[in-house]
Structure 1
């Protein structure tokens, strides 16, 4: 399997990108990695490590797309950028998967424009796996489509069901619709109509799910438009960060609390690991003709290594082929 990684994507590139790739080839023997970016810069980073030189190659890319640029215009104009060149390799069939922690808008727009949508998919969607009290869950869409139609949400459920069932190995995963109330009649026109459609289709649909119930992880796949999904995701990240920092401040506030914190350290470490996005790698962009993983902008080397692991699982479980079959069988 060949995986192309955007060497200039993320807040700490290319250092953490290269380190994550090195760690990945040492752990996973069945992969080769291509890193896109300025050749000299990437080469300098690689020279810091001992590794199998046959497992990592560089594709020179002189440009970088930043978060401040218009995504579609940047993809169309900057064909020498690290993101574009990475996506183009998948389009040409020279790589099986692409990973980037760069501009989300450019990556998603590029995946749609360069690689292309799966036939029958109206809107590709971003689908991160999130940590929950009773197990991980998926939110789809998390930012690719701010405005949606009811049938789009049904298709998100289809793709999410396939991914969750095959990657998390949970048969007949539960599907929930993110809404302001659990009652069927709650919500706006989008959620009301989507509720009707989801109820009619062959899903394990449990109805509306209020945001306060999301962290339990009792619902496997949570469906919503990208505006709602991205808002939930950012709030989730913010709350987790606030809890960790507040706990740390309180523990360090006195000798007594330091002793208590020391006794509870194993509990805190487990809690932090369970709710650390780095453990999940990145968010799959479902609905395009290639394996696309969007890593978090602040990803470290471990997050990149786990994103590569995620791409391997995606490939080994033939997710794209299964989504195609599912869409054909249940065309919306």
Structure 2
């Protein structure tokens, strides 16, 4: 374990007395606002925690796990959390759930709060801002206090941690081939979750399938939060689209709704496959064919892996679990044409 920063270390760095540092951190009225600001900024930069707290991290177990997800409204992350809570409860652990809302700053605050809450380990799917910026210093802090991290779904290769995911590249390739085998000739990829690792992997899988089929790949970044009805209609018409692979469940539902609004029939005119086997896609009319990412299983395996790591049941090197996804066939695709 890395030697933690002490009060005396901070005082030496700042050129002031340890008592002044202590008073500044405790918001004493004896200390000026300028000095307090300077002390707190350096404490954050050097990842300082009170000595008694840091020692507590080293020797105690709290049977508590921290969880950080980018969103709670997403069916995928809701199902992951269901798996996490169920497995953690089964194994005698409590969980603290934090939501980053795709914000790097909120994610940093969550990491800091979980360290101070003395969690035994952290389960994490990083925010879009973290993945886009690769600002990952905060994700290295827990390790300094003996707190392991397990990442799930969205992964950052630069972080040394156990990782749980599906093979997004392969699954996107297989889904694209499913559309092509069903008779689609102009398949596009609609991306609604830019700057995430899973989206980039799915793009690569889609492009690989199109290249292997000698077809032209077209990736379209779509934002349904804006009024893009006319733009969407022109995209469909100009590209003669008859097949769509989408990046996530919300984008799938929004795409299907707009396809129907533009007067096309699903799957007669346009077939659609998306990612995440959630309730929105299942209950949409027509019901939507999807890649089941095994969300609940990812949560369960993430918890088991983290506890195995805490109990020294795993090798020193980080491990990676890759789950096999499957395509759930529903009404938004035609039956694939099987070669005789």
Normalised by the length of structure 2, the TM-score is 0.24
Higher relative contact order (Cα pairs below 8 Å, separated by 6+ residues): 1
Query: Between Structure 1 and Structure 2, whose CA radius of gyration is higher?
Result: 2
Normalised by the length of structure 1, the TM-score is 0.25
